[in-house]
Amino acid sequence: MFAAYVTVTVLSAVFNGAAAVTYLIGHEYPRTQADMKGVPRKWVPVLGMLLAAGALGLLAGFAVPLLGTLAASGLVLYFVGAVIAHLRLGSRDVVGGIVFLATAAAALALGLVCRGPW
């Protein structure tokens, strides 16, 4: 079970870290997504920082389990909001958000099972 926890947590950290980089370097995709959802473009770097903090928090959770629990919980909330924002607009392009949500939720669940919340 611990191997699954490590694998899923590292995978989720890599996914979110890569997404954070695209948000922070000013790639066009996050900007068009923000425009589609009516989010001001000045929020794109803030969203990227949230993703980066979540990715780093997942990795820090190996040393301090509470940080991992908080980071995974924050990422779950972030992607629940992202999926809701897509569905609210009638967009059915939610597969990416659901994959990110699933990895964050799996990292949270496996972390709680293997290490506990603290």
- Rounded to 5 degrees, φ, ψ at 26 are 85, 30
Angle, CA of 50, 54 and 57, to the nearest 5°: 135
| pLDDT at residue 98, as a whole number | 96
Residue 116 region by backbone torsions, left for phi larger than 0, else alpha for psi between -120 and 50, else beta: left
| pLDDT at residue 37, as a whole number | 87
Average pLDDT, consecutive stretches of 10 residues, N- to C-terminus, the chain (118 residues):
96 98 94 90 96 98 96 98 92 91 98 89
| pLDDT at residue 50, as a whole number | 98
| pLDDT at residue 106, as a whole number | 98
Contacts for 35 with CB less than 8 Å, ≥ 6 apart: 41
The domain segmentation of the chain, as residue ranges, is: 2-115
